[in-house]
A and B are shown apart, each in its own frame.
Chain A
Amino acid sequence: MSQTNAAALQGPWDIIVVGGGNAALCAAITATEQGKRVLILESAPKHMRGGNSRHTRNFRCMHHGPLSVLIDSYEEDEYFDDLMRVTDGKTDENLARMTIRESEACLPWMEAHGVRFQPSLSGTLSLSRTNAFFLGGGKALVNAYYATAEDLGIGIFYDAEVTHVNIEGSRFTHVDVTIDGQSHRVEGRAVVLASGGFQADLEWLTRAWGPSAANFLIRGTPYNRGVVLKDMLDQDAQTVGDPTQCHAVAIDGRAPKFDGGIATRLDCVPFSVVVNRDGDRFYDEGEDVWPKRYAIWGRLVAAQPDQVGYSIIDSKSINLFMPSVFPPVVADTLEELAEKLGIDGAKLKATVEAFNAACRPGDFHPTELDGLATEGIEPQKTNWARPIDTPPYYGYSLRPGVTFTYLGLKVSETAQVSGPDGPLENVWAAGEIMAGSILGQGYLAGFGMTIGTVFGRIAGREAAAHVN
């Protein structure tokens, strides 16, 4: 790093924000608008800035009537009920309701800081009332916030990994940050931790999940390695959330190890039979409409040998779901398809034939639970069970794709982090790193960005008030 940059790094700063995603940017912008000198330390290089936030497409927003691109209304109770359903009640009601109520004010704030919205994307009509989509997606949102941050004079350093957050007693004093291979100590009067989860640290995942985690794909940024979270755990910060759990969905097995993002999702499962490496079916593919079952298939596939599954359809179904990023494997016979996929042909054929024989006549409705179920096989397929018999046949491989981890810092309603002896005076946290405080398990589409925006703004406001 040049001398001028090294001098610039030293500020002096009122508030240091660790991380460069949505939560970090919301906190930094809010605090700067309170007249504070703010530094953002982002471990990714500039072209990869923005963490998992750059992969997002929308945020979930409460509203009493039509608001920007959102239609009708979406009230607190309905929002809360939706949340309780996906988390099986493992939700901090107080924090959750506060987050939901605050979400309404977020949308105009986001617009005022450069974010643009668009009507829900084609193929996602079901979200047009509840989720506001970002024009251009999460990277456009992140770009807009960085432009705002630059205009506000916020100090921004890329390729800057924070390795240690120094706490003395109940006070934060400085961070250690590595830039160009060199460690620097940067002091600040308060710190906001917004460095995401630890899902990109495969060793950590392996410790939590066992060796199978080596086969998991990470849907988002390779930079969320939980370095800061671990450092805080080592200093006995209070935590929340199951350390052995992560949110995983089934994605295309050919997706890149990191950063495959949303386009690697596969929506063909309900119209298919899914077999494992050995050619056996293992779960009801037609249990519910896909958006509701999307999230369980990560776990299901993770539990199979080699953590892989194969979704098989025939030409009747190829146009029934959103296209996916990789073209399917195609063949005229099931044996040939199996060979191309790398599984046993005779076995796949036998499994599909048994499935076909268990299919019953009836009306097929791709967009609703049609009750077209198999009879006499295990596991049963309870909807959309049509024989797989019309070539060409198509196959996709499935792998677990990790979205985020649940273990995080426990925060108060004001986003304040606690140490072993109670609240830390000048440490706040926002975003994925504290999401476990609200979301004990499961996930509600668009809620991650809501948590980040709400708590980012709170953390920025509280930190600014503290350094006054």
Chain B
Amino acid sequence: MTKLLEWLLGVSLVLSAWAVVSFDLLELSLPQTYREVAWPMPLYLLVTFGCYSLATVGYRVATFNDCDEASAELQGQIQEAKQDLRKKGLKI
């Protein structure tokens, strides 16, 4: 199954569960409060997921390591390499 199908399956499962509860499709005679809670759920979920995404990406950008030492080390090694290669007879 492709990821697209997995997603479609997941979303339609959630949506049908939601529809069953909020519109009482199966005539389960659920208490009114259930329907009231269920009705705005998709929107809540979307907003929550949006906030989670923003927070996660924001946190990861803020904590993205700047490898200053790695760059400094490389610069040093480049000089060392150039000298050694010249000694070994490399002509550039």
**B is a partner of A:** no
